C-alpha cells in the first residue's frame, strides 16, 4: 500500500532530478541555523545540496531555478533524530552475546521500513540508526535518511554504540550485573589501548579511541552515568551519554569532562529537575539533543522550552546539536552551503504544537506534504499535483 | 599606638593558634560516649572544617565566636559504622554469570543516591562496608563508604576493602540441574550443593596459589584479573570476609582459610557460639549479623540452627573479637537496634556501642579517620535524644564529615 | 426437639461455649492468696506506687498500696520483687499467633472459629509469656472476606478450653484485596452483607406468612415453626443484627471510606494496616478507637525531591486525637513490647499513652476493660515482674502471674536456660578437647526435643509433649 503512494512520488522525484533543475527556496523566515535566521530569506538547492544562501545566490541561477515559494511559512533545517533503533529492535540487538562492537547497524537497514518513512511526518529528515542498548557493545551506527524512492544511507559506520543501562544487563547471559558490565568494557578498552591487533572487535574500539569515531554510551541511573564518565576519563575520549534519565544529578561532571547528552525523552509527569535539565545544560554549554520516536522528540523540546530552555537552543537540540555530536555537522542539521538540502516547511515555530507541517524535503526532493499551488512561481509550470 | 601594638601582637598570635572561626561549632552539656574511652558527663565537643577539634569535660577550651549548641539531656556518640551493609536490593549486586569473580568491584554497581544510604543516615550510621551479593561463591571486592558526601566519588573511604566469599547453600540457589531448566541456560552449572560451593572456592584459591608459586620463579604472562586479586588475599594485602551462618559452614570457612593460609573474617556467623575455641585459636574476628532477626522461639533462617541472640554474649565471654552489623540480608538498616538486642542478651551497653563504632572502624582499617570521637578524626557524630541504647532514643542530628545530614530539632 | 436433631458439631460448639463461659466466669485456679512486693508498681490506671504490694485473692486483685500501709495476710504466698518493676500484663487486641494456617482459602466462611485452629503448644504462646503478654485476642487472618469468630485466650493452658478467656468475640472481616483487587473486594463484602440481609428478610417473610396462615387456620394450630437460621450463616446474621461485633481489617487509607460506610451500618472495630497518613481525617470521623497492625513505622519517598520521610502511624493518630491500641508482631523486633513502645516514644508520643495503648485500650476494645489492662482492685490478678523499666531493651520479664497463679518464671524457662546457661557451660568447658563431640550432641538434642514441649517454665505442670516430634512448622 505504502509502495503504491511512493512510486508516483518516486517518478516525480526522478523527473525532478532528470531535469537537473536548481530549486530556489524562499520563505518569510528561513532558518539556516539557529543563530542564522533570514527574514524573507532564500537559498538555492543544486544536486540535492545547498549551493548558495541568501544574498550569495547568483541572480542568473535564481532566474533559472524552479521557485519554491513557501509564503509566510517558516523553513527550518530538517531535524536529525539521534541514536534510535527506529523500532527495529529485534534486528539491532544481538542479544545472545554481550560484546559485538564490530557489528554494523547499516547491515540491518531496511530502506522501506515504515518508521523510516514516517520520519518526515515529525519534521525529521535524517536519523542515526543505532544498534540497540540491549547489548553492552552493540556496534556501529549509521546516518540514514528517508526518501521518495526508499530510504538511503548517508553515512555508514558513524559512531560506536555502547550500553551500561539496565537493558544491557540480561539475567540469562553474563554479565548480569552492572559491575560485570563495567569490568567487561574496561578490560576490552584496556586491551584496545595497548594493541589493535587483537581481533576485529577490539580493533573497532582501538579505532574509536584514536578519535576516528564518536563513542555513545547508553546510561540512565546516576551510577551508570558515573561509570560511563569514568570510562571516558580513564581512556581519554569524550563520551556521549544516551538516555541520561538521572543525568541532572551529575551535571558538574558532564561539564568538566565535556560530555554530550542525548536525552531519552521528556514527559509531563517527570520530576521537575529532569524537565529543567535541558535549560541547565544549555546554560552550562553542554551539547544535548532529544531522542525517542519523532513526535516524542519534538514534544520533549517543547516541554524543555516550557521549563526554561530558550528557543534557539531547542531548535539546535533538534537539528545542529545531534549533527555535531555525531560528527556529521557538515552534512545535515543546518542549511549552510554544502549541507544536504534537508528542510521542512512549517506554518509557524515547530516548537509550538499548533504549528502545522506543510512540506518536507530530503536531498532537495519533496518527501512529504505539498505546498499550495498558488504559492508556486507564476513563471514556471504549476508544481506537479501528484502527491 | 604603643599600647595597641602589644594587643595587636597578641591578637595575631591568638589568630595563629586558633582554627578558622568559620564553621566551628561547640556542643556543650552533653553526655559524650567517645567510643573506646570512658563516658564524659557535661562534655564538650568542638568541631570545625569537617574534623573534631577538641573533646573533653566542661572546662574544654573553645574558640571565641564559634556557634554554641546546648545539648543538655542529650547523648553524643561517634557515627555508627555498619560493617556488613546491604546497599540496595538490586540484581546488580550479584554477577550471576560466574560463581567466581574476585576482580569485580561492588563499587561499580552502587547507586550513590540509593535510599538505603538515606535510611542509614537517618539511623545514625555514618560509614558502611558494602560487599557484593551472596549469590556467588567469590563475589568480588567490597568497599567502605561514608553514607554521605557532596560528591559521590568522595564517599569512598577505602577501596578494595575486602574480598567476599560465601559458604553454605546460598551460592548454589538458582543453579539448576539438567532436569530443572533448559540446558542452554547459564544457570545449568555447578554448584548446586555445598560440595560444589566449596569446590569452586578451593579451585580458585588453588589456581591462585599455583600462580603465586610460579611467579616466584618467572613472572606470569598475563595473570587473569581474578587470580591477581586472590594472590593479594593470599599475601594478606586484602582481607577475606567469609559469609557463613550455620556451624557447619563456619567450620568449613575456617578449614578453607587454614588450608590456603589466609586470614578471614567471618560474616553473619549466627552459630559462632558453637565453635568459640576454634575462633579463638584462629584469631578470627566475627561480624555478627542482625542479633534482632530471630525472636527466641521464632523460625530460624534457612541456614541457621539456633537463634543468634546469645552469640554476642558468648563471644564476649570467651574473648573472641566481634562487631555487630545489620547483616547484608537485613530488612531494616537500624544498626543501633541490633546493638540494643545484643545488650539485652548479655553484653554491657558500652561493649554493645563499641561493637558498632570503634570496633568496626578498627576491623575495616579506617580507625585513623573515624569510629571514635578524638581530636583530629573526621567529624562523624550523632546527637541522640537520650542514651542511644534506649528504645525511645532518636538520632536527632547526624553529622558526616561535619555536614549535617539529618537535623530533627 | 430432642438432642438427636442437633448435629455433632453444633453440640460441640455449644459445649465449648458453655465451658468457655464457665471458665470466664471464674478463674482457672481458685482459692489462692498471693502477695507481690515490688520496688515499683506501674498500675497504668493510677499513679506509680513505690515499694508497694499487690494482693490477689481468688484470682482477683483485692488491694494495692505501699508495703508500709498494707498488711499482708499470713496465709499468703509472697513473691519478693524488691528492686523490680511490677505492671499489668500486656493485652494484644488482634493477632494471628498460635495458629498455623489462619487464612481459609474460601473467603466467606463466617461459621468457622479460631478455637479450632489455636495450638496450645505453639511456641508463640511461650514467647507471649516471655514478653509478659497476658491476653491475646486471636482472630482469623487478613486474606479473607468474612472469616470466622475470634476469641480471647491466655497464653497458658493445655487445651484450648483451658486457654479461653472469652469466646465468640467477633467476626473477622477484611478489605485486603488479596488476588482480586480493591474494588472487587469492596464489592464482594457489600454483596456478602447484602446477601445475609436478603436471607434474613426472606426468613422473616416466610415466618410471617406461616404465622398468618396459622392465624387464618390454613395450618393446624399445633404445628410449630421449626426452621432455624442456617447455622453456616449465623455468625454473619449476628453481625448484621448487631448482636456480634465485626472486626474489620483495613489495609490502608484507600479503604477507609468504605470502612466508614460499613461502620455506619454495623458495629465494627477497625484494625488498621500502615500507610494511613493521608487518611487520618477519615479515621477521626470513625469516632472510635482503632487497632493498629504491628508494623507502625514506614517510609515514603517524595516523588519530586526523592527524599524519604519516616512515618509512624501511631504518632499520626495521637496527633489527631484518635485513641489507638498497639499490637505485637510474631517475629522480629515488633514482637517485643519494649521495641513497639520505644518506637512510639521515639516519635514523640508520651510514655504513659504508649503504655496504655498496649494495656487499657486493647482491654476495652475486646470488651474486658473491667477485668484487664491495669492493676486495680477488682480486676483479674494478671501481672508481670520485670528486672527493670518495661521500655528498656535490657529489661527481662522474670515472672508472669495470671489470675493469681504464677505461670512463668524465667529462672525455670528451659529454652532460655538452654540458651544462656547450657551454652555458657559449654563455652567454659571448651578447654577440654574431647568434650567437643559430646557437647555438640547435647546441644543438638534440646533443639530437636523443643517442639515437643507444651509449655516452658510452668510450675507443677507435667510434660504433655507428644514425643512424635511435631517438628518443623
pLDDT (tens digit, 9 = 90+) per residue, C83-97? 999 999 999 999 998
pLDDT tens, residue by residue, C208-218: 999 999 888 88
Residue C285 Cα distances to C256, C275, C280, angstroms: 10, 17, 9
Q: What is the pTM of this model?
A: 0.81
Domains of chain A, residue spans: 2-77+335-377, 79-325
The answer, for B183 touching chain A at a CB cutoff of 8 Å, is no
Spatial separation of the C-alpha atoms in residues A293 and A296, rounded to whole Å:
5
Residues of A in contact with B92 (CB under 8 A): 169, 177-179
Which of chain A's residues have a Cβ under 8 Å away from the Cβ of B132? Answer: 179
Q: Which chain B residue lies closest to A187 (C-alpha atoms)? A: B225
pLDDT the model gives residue C25:
47
**For residue A149, is pLDDT > 90?**
no
Q: Is the pLDDT of residue B15 over 50?
A: no
Average pLDDT over residues A148-165: 91
| Smallest Cα distance from B148 to chain A, Å | 15
pLDDT of B5 above 70: no
pLDDT of residue C316: 92
Closest Cα in chain C, distance from residue A280 (Å)? 17
Contact across the interface for C430 and B331, Cβ inside 8 Å: no
Contact B298 C347 (CB under 8 A): no
- For chain A, say whether B101 makes contact (Cβ under 8 Å): yes
Question: Does residue C324 or residue C144 have the better pLDDT?
Answer: C324
B388-392, C21-25, C468-472: which has the minimum mean pLDDT?
A: C468-472
The mean pLDDT of A352-379, rounded to a whole number, is 77
Give the pLDDT score at A74.
Answer: 92
- Rounded CA-CA distance A100/C27 in Å is 80
Average pLDDT of span B148-159: 87
Fold of C23-89+373-441: Urease, subunit C; domain 1 (2.30.40)
Interface contact C303-A272, CB threshold 8 A: no
**Separation CA A208–CA A138 (nearest Å):** 14
Q: Which of C139, C141, C145 is nearest to C174 (CA)?
A: C145
Q: Please report the pLDDT score of residue B331 as a whole number.
A: 66
A30-34, A95-99, B317-321: least confidently modelled range: A95-99
Please provide residue B233's backbone torsions phi and psi, each rounded to the nearest 5 degrees: -65, -45
Residue range B10-21: average pLDDT? 40
Per-residue confidence (pLDDT) for residue B178, from 0 to 100: 62
At C452 the pLDDT is 33
Give contacts of B96 with chain A, Cβ < 8 Å.
171, 174, 176-177
Chain A positions touching C307 (Cβ under 8 A) are none
Q: Closest to B109 (Cβ–Cβ): which among A173, A223, A249?
A: A223
pLDDT mean over A329-347: 93
Q: Please, where in chain C does CATH 2.30.40.10 lie?
A: 23-89+373-441
Cross-chain residue pair B112–A227, CB shorter than 8 Å: no
Tell me, what's the pLDDT at B220?
Answer: 60
pLDDT tens digits for range B112-138: 878 888 889 989 999 999 999 998 999
Q: How confident is the model at residue B97 (pLDDT cuts 50, 70, 90)?
A: confident
pLDDT tens, residue by residue, C22-39:
444 444 444 579 999 999
Domains of chain B: 3-78+372-404 (2.30.40.10), 80-364 (3.20.20.140)
Predicted confidence at residue C360, as pLDDT, reads: 97
The answer to whether A159 and A215 have CB atoms below 8 angstroms apart is: yes
Can you identify the CATH homologous superfamily of domain A79-325? Metal-dependent hydrolases (3.20.20.140)
Domain C95-293+365-372 class in CATH: alpha beta
Does the pLDDT value for residue C385 go beyond 70? Answer: yes
**How much of chain C exceeds pLDDT 90, in percent?**
50
Residues 171-210 of A with CB under 8 A from B: 171-180, 182-183, 187
Helix residue ranges per DSSP H, chain A? 2-19, 59-64, 89-92, 114-118, 178-194, 200-207, 222-235, 251-256, 272-284, 294-306, 311-318, 320-325
- Name the residue of chain C whose CA is nearest to B122's CA: C310
Residues of C in contact with A271 (CB under 8 A): 303-304, 306
Asked if the Cβ–Cβ distance from C346 to B391 is below 8 Å, we say: yes
pLDDT of residue C136: 96
pLDDT score at B180: 56
pLDDT at B203: 93
CA distance B200 to chain A (A): 18
List, in order, residues 6 or more apart from A257 with CB less than 8 Å away. A229, A232, A233, A238, A239
Q: Where in chain C is the domain with CATH 3.20.20.140?
A: 95-293+365-372
Domain A79-325 in the same topology as domain A2-77+335-377: no
Q: Residue C420 and residue B346: Cβ atoms within 8 Å?
A: yes
Counting as contact any 3 or more CB pairs under 8 A, the partners of C are: A, B
Residue B193 is predicted with a pLDDT of 86
Using pLDDT thresholds of 50, 70 and 90, give the confidence band for residue A292: confident
Lowest-pLDDT range, B5-9, B204-208, C153-157, C236-240?
Answer: B5-9
Using the 8-state DSSP alphabet, how is residue B123 labeled? T
**What are the Cα distances from residue A177, in Å, to A69, A168, B139, C59?**
57, 9, 11, 64
Q: Do A173 and B106 touch (CB under 8 A)?
A: no
Among C301, C302, C306, C307, the residue to mutate for chain A (most A Cβ within 10 A): C306
- pLDDT on residue C303: 72
Question: B392 vs C443: CB contact, 8 Å cut-off?
Answer: no
pLDDT band at A89 (very low <50, low <70, confident <90, very high): confident
Rama region for A32: left / alpha / beta (φ>0; ψ in -120 to 50; rest) = alpha
Interface of C with A (CB under 8 A): 303-304, 306
Q: What's the CATH code, domain A2-77+335-377?
A: 2.30.40.10
Query: What is the spatial distance between Cα C174 and Cα C56, in angstroms, rounded to a whole number?
Result: 40
Distance between CA atoms of residues C300 and C399, nearest Å: 40
Amino acid at each position: 500500500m505504502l509502495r503504491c503512494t511512493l512510486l508516483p512520488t518516486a517518478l516525480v522525484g526522478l523527473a525532478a532530478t532528470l531535469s537537473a533543475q536548481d530549486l530556489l527556496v524562499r520563505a518569510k523566515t528561513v532558518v539556516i541555523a539557529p543563530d542564522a535566521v533570514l527574514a524573507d530569506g532564500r537559498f538555492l538547492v543544486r544536486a540535492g545540496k545547498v549551493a548558495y544562501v541568501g544574498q550569495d545566490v547568483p541572480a542568473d541561477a535564481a532566474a533559472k531555478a524552479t521557485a519554491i515559494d513557501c509564503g509566510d511559512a517558516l523553513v527550518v533545517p530538517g531535524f536529525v533524530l539521534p541514536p534510535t533503533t527506529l523500532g527495529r529492535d529485534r534486528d539491532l540487538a544481538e542479544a545472545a552475546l554481550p560484546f559485538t562492537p564490530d557489528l554494523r547497524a547499516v547491515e540491518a537497514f531496511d530502506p522501506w521500513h515504515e518508521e523510516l518513512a514516517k520520519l518526515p511526518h515529525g519534521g525529521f529528515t535524517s536519523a542515526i540508526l543505532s544498534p540497540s542498548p540491549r547489548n553492552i557493545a552493540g556496534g556501529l551506527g549509521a546516518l540514514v535518511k528517508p526518501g521518495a524512492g526508499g530510504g538511503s544511507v548517508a553515512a555508514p559506520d558513524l559512531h560506536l554504540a555502547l550500553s551500561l543501562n539496565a537493558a544491557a544487563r540480561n539475567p540469562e547471559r553474563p554479565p548480569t550485573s552492572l559491575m560485570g558490565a563495567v569490568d567487561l568494557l574496561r578490560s576490552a578498552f584496556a586491551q584496545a589501548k595497548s594493541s589493535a591487533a587483537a581481533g576485529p572487535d577490539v580493533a573497532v574500539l582501538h579505532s574509536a579511541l584514536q578519535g576516528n569515531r564518536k563513542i555513545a554510551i547508553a546510561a540512565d541511573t546516576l551510577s551508570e552515568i558515573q561509570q560511563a564518565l569514568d570510562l571516558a576519563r580513564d581512556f581519554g575520549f569524550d563520551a556521549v551519554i544516551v538516555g541520561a534519565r538521572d543525568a541532572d544529578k551529575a551535571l558538574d561532571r558532564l561539564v568538566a569532562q565535556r560530555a554530550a547528552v542525548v536525552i531519552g525523552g521528556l514527559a509531563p509527569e517527570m520530576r521537575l529537575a529532569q524537565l529543567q535539565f535541558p535549560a541547565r545544560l544549555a546554560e552550562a554549554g553542554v551539547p544535548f539533543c532529544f531522542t525517542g520516536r519523532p513526535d516524542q522528540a519534538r514534544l520533549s523540546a517543547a516541554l524543555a522550552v516550557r521549563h526554561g530552555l530558550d528557543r534557539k537552543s531547542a531548535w539546535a537540540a533538534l537539528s545542529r546539536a545531534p549533527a555535531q555530536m555525531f560528527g556529521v555537522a557538515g552534512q545535515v542539521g543546518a542549511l549552510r552551503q554544502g549541507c544536504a538540502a534537508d528542510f521542512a516547511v512549517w506554518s509557524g515555530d515547530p516548537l509550538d504544537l499548533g504549528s502545522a507541517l506543510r512540506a518536507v524535503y530530503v536531498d532537495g526532493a519533496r518527501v512529504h506534504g505539498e505546498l499550495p499551488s498558488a504559492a508556486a512561481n507564476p513563471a514556471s509550470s504549476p508544481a506537479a499535483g501528484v502527491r | 599606638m604603643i599600647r595597641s601594638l602589644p594587643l595587636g601582637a597578641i591578637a595575631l598570635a591568638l589568630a595563629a593558634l586558633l582554627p578558622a572561626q568559620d564553621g566551628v561549632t561547640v556542643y556543650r552539656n552533653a553526655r559524650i560516649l567517645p567510643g573506646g574511652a570512658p563516658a564524659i558527663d557535661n562534655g564538650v565537643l568542638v568541631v570545625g572544617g569537617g574534623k573534631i577539634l577538641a573533646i573533653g569535660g566542661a572546662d574544654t577550651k573553645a574558640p571565641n565566636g564559634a556557634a554554641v549548641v546546648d545539648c543538655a539531656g542529650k547523648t553524643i556518640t561517634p557515627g555508627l559504622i555498619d560493617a556488613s551493609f546491604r546497599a540496595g536490593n538490586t540484581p546488580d549486586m550479584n554477577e550471576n554469570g560466574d560463581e567466581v569473580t574476585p576482580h569485580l568491584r561492588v563499587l561499580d554497581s552502587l547507586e550513590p543516591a540509593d535510599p538505603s544510604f538515606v535510611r542509614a543516615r537517618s539511623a545514625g550510621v555514618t560509614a558502611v562496608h558494602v560487599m557484593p551479593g551472596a549469590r556467588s561463591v567469590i563475589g568480588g571486592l567490597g568497599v567502605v563508604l561514608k553514607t554521605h558526601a557532596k560528591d559521590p566519588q568522595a564517599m569512598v573511604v577505602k577501596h578494595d576493602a575486602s574480598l567476599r566469599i560465601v559458604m553454605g547453600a546460598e551460592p548454589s540457589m538458582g543453579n539448576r540441574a539438567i532436569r530443572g531448566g533448559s540446558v542452554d541456560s547459564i544457570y545449568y552449572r555447578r554448584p548446586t550443593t555445598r560440595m560444589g560451593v566449596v569446590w569452586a572456592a578451593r579451585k580458585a584459591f588453588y589456581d591462585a596459589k599455583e600462580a603465586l608459586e610460579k611467579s616466584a620463579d618467572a613472572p606470569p604472562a598475563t595473570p587473569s584479573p581474578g587470580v591477581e586479586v586472590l594472590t593479594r588475599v593470599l599475601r594478606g594485602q586484602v582481607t577475606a570476609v567469609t559469609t557463613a551462618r550455620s556451624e557447619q559452614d563456619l567450620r568449613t570457612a575456617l578449614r578453607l582459610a587454614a588450608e590456603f593460609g589466609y586470614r578471614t573474617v567471618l560474616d553473619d556467623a549466627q552459630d559462632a557460639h558453637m565453635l568459640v575455641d576454634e575462633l579463638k585459636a584462629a584469631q578470627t574476628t566475627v561480624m555478627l549479623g542482625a542479633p534482632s532477626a530471630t525472636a527466641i522461639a521464632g523460625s530460624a533462617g534457612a541456614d541457621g540452627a539456633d537463634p543468634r541472640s546469645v552469640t554476642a554474649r558468648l563471644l564476649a565471654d570467651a574473648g573472641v573479637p566481634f562487631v555487630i552489623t545489620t547483616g547484608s540480608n537485613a530488612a531494616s538498616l537500624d544498626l543501633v537496634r541490633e546493638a540494643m538486642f545484643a545488650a539485652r542478651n548479655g553484653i554491657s551497653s558500652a561493649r554493645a556501642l563499641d561493637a558498632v563504632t570503634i570496633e568496626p572502624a578498627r576491623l575495616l582499617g579506617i580507625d585513623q579517620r573515624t569510629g571514635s570521637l578524638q581530636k583530629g578524626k573526621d567529624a562523624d557524630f550523632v546527637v541522640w535524644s537520650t542514651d542511644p541504647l534506649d528504645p525511645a532514643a532518636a538520632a536527632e542530628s547526624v553529622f558526616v564529615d561535619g555536614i549535617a545530614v539529618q537535623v530533627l530539632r | 426437639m430432642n438432642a438427636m436433631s442437633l448435629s455433632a458439631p453444633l453440640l460441640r460448639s455449644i459445649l465449648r461455649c458453655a465451658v468457655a463461659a464457665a471458665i470466664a466466669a471464674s478463674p482457672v485456679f481458685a482459692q489462692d492468696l498471693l502477695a507481690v512486693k515490688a520496688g515499683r508498681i506501674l498500675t497504668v490506671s493510677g499513679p506509680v506506687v513505690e515499694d508497694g504490694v499487690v494482693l490477689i485473692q481468688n484470682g482477683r486483685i483485692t488491694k494495692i498500696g505501699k508495703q508500709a500501709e498494707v498488711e499482708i495476710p499470713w496465709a499468703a504466698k509472697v513473691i519478693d520483687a524488691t528492686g523490680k518493676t511490677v505492671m499489668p500484663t500486656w493485652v494484644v487486641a488482634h493477632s494471628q499467633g498460635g495458629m498455623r494456617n489462619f487464612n481459609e482459602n474460601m473467603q466467606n466462611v463466617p461459621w468457622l472459629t479460631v478455637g479450632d485452629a489455636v495450638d496450645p503448644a505453639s511456641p508463640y504462646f511461650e514467647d507471649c509469656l516471655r514478653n509478659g503478654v497476658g491476653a491475646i485476642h486471636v482472630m482469623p487472618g487478613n486474606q479473607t472476606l468474612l472469616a470466622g469468630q475470634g476469641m480471647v485466650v491466655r497464653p497458658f493452658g493445655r487445651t484450648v478450653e483451658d486457654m479461653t478467656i472469652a469466646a465468640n468475640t467477633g467476626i473477622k472481616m477484611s478489605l485486603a484485596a488479596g488476588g482480586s483487587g480493591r474494588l472487587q473486594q469492596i464489592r464482594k463484602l457489600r454483596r456478602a452483607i447484602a446477601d445475609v440481609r436478603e436471607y434474613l428478610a426472606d426468613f422473616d417473610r416466610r415466618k410471617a406468612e406461616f404465622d398468618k396462615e396459622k392465624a387464618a387456620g390454613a395450618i393446624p394450630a399445633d404445628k410449630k415453626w421449626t426452621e432455624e437460621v442456617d447455622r453456616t450463616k449465623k455468625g454473619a446474621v449476628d453481625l448484621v443484627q448487631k448482636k456480634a461485633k465485626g472486626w474489620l481489617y483495613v489495609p490502608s487509607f484507600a479503604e477507609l471510606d468504605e470502612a466508614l460506610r460499613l461502620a455506619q451500618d454495623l458495629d465494627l472495630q477497625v484494625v488498621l494496616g500502615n500507610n494511613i497518613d493521608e487518611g487520618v481525617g477519615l479515621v477521626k470521623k470513625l469516632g472510635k478507637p482503632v487497632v493498629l497492625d504491628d508494623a507502625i513505622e514506614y517510609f515514603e519517598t517524595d516523588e519530586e525531591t526523592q527524599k524519604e520521610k519516616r512515618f509512624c502511624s501511631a504518632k499520626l493518630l495521637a496527633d489527631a486525637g484518635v485513641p489507638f491500641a498497639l499490637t505485637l508482631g510474631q517475629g522480629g523486633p515488633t514482637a517485643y513490647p519494649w521495641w513497639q513502645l520505644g518506637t512510639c516514644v521515639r516519635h514523640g508520643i508520651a510514655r504513659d499513652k504508649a503504655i496504655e495503648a498496649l494495656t487499657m485500650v486493647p482491654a476495652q476494645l475486646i470488651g474486658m476493660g473491667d477485668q484487664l489492662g491495669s492493676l486495680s482492685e477488682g480486676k483479674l490478678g494478671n501481672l508481670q515482674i520485670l528486672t527493670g523499666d518495661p521500655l528498656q531493651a535490657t529489661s527481662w520479664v522474670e515472672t508472669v502471674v495470671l489470675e493469681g497463679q504464677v505461670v512463668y518464671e524465667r529462672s525455670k524457662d528451659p529454652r532460655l536456660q538452654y540458651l544462656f546457661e547450657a551454652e555458657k557451660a559449654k563455652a567454659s568447658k571448651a578447654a577440654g578437647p574431647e568434650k567437643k563431640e559430646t557437647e555438640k550432641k547435647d546441644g543438638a538434642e534440646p533443639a530437636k526435643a523443643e517442639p515437643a514441649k507444651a509449655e516452658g517454665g510452668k510450675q507443677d505442670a507435667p510434660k504433655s509433649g507428644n514425643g512424635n516430634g511435631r517438628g518443623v512448622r
